[in-house]
Amino acid sequence: MLGGDYALTVAKSGAQALARAASDAPPDLIVLDVVMPELDGLEVCRRLKDDARTRAIPVILATHLASEADEERGFAAGAADYVTKPYRPVVLKARIATHVRLARAEKARE
């Protein structure tokens, strides 16, 4: 769904996502599922926001967990946005584009 618009990197675990985000070539945006083995997406998001190297990378949590409480936990963990499955491609693409644009504008101001 996004391959033609963005250069994508996939991480197979929360630990791998954290390592890639803290690399010399950090991503402009991270899309995380909340339900993951080992480290869940909320914990990965918290760790990203606690690390000065990755704090500014926007995180979109994408999940089947759709309750108001789930959404609140996502934002409390530091997510910039929260989308639920089934994804509406046009909505997900618009949200990704918005957060990438905002992150790039923020970097340009630094």
Query: In angstroms, how far is CA 66 from the centroid of its own chain?
Result: 17
Burial class (CB in 10 A: 0-12, 13-18, 19+), 104: exposed
| Residues 9-34: tens digit of each pLDDT | 899 899 999 999 999 999 999 999 99
Is 1 within a domain?
A: no
Q: How many Cα atoms are found within 13 Å in the side-chain-facing hemisphere of 15?
A: 2
The amino acid sitting at 35 is: V
Is 82 within a domain?
A: yes
Is 39 within a domain?
A: yes
Identify the CATH number of the domain in which residue 79 sits. 3.40.50.2300
Is 77 within a domain?
A: yes
Provide the domain limits for residue 53. Answer: 14-109
pLDDT of residue 44: 98
Given pLDDT bands bounded at 50, 70 and 90, which one contains residue 1?
Answer: low
How far from each other are the two terminal CA atoms of the chain, in whole angstroms?
Answer: 31
Is 8 within a domain?
A: no
Given pLDDT bands bounded at 50, 70 and 90, which one contains residue 5?
Answer: confident
| Residues 35-70: tens digit of each pLDDT | 988 899 999 999 999 999 999 999 999 999 999 999
Helices (H), the chain: 14-21, 41-50, 68-76, 89-109
Is 84 within a domain?
A: yes
Instruction: Decide if pLDDT at 2 tops 70.
Output: no
Is 20 within a domain?
A: yes
Is 4 within a domain?
A: no
| Residues 64-89: tens digit of each pLDDT | 999 999 999 999 999 999 999 998 98
Given pLDDT bands bounded at 50, 70 and 90, which one contains residue 7?
Answer: confident
Counted domains in the chain: 1
Catalogue the E-assigned strands of the chain.
Answer: 30-33, 59-63, 81-84
Q: Which residue has the tokens 């499955």?
A: 85
Q: Which residues of 53-64 are buried (b: 16+ CB within 10 A; e: fewer)?
A: ebeebbbbbbbe
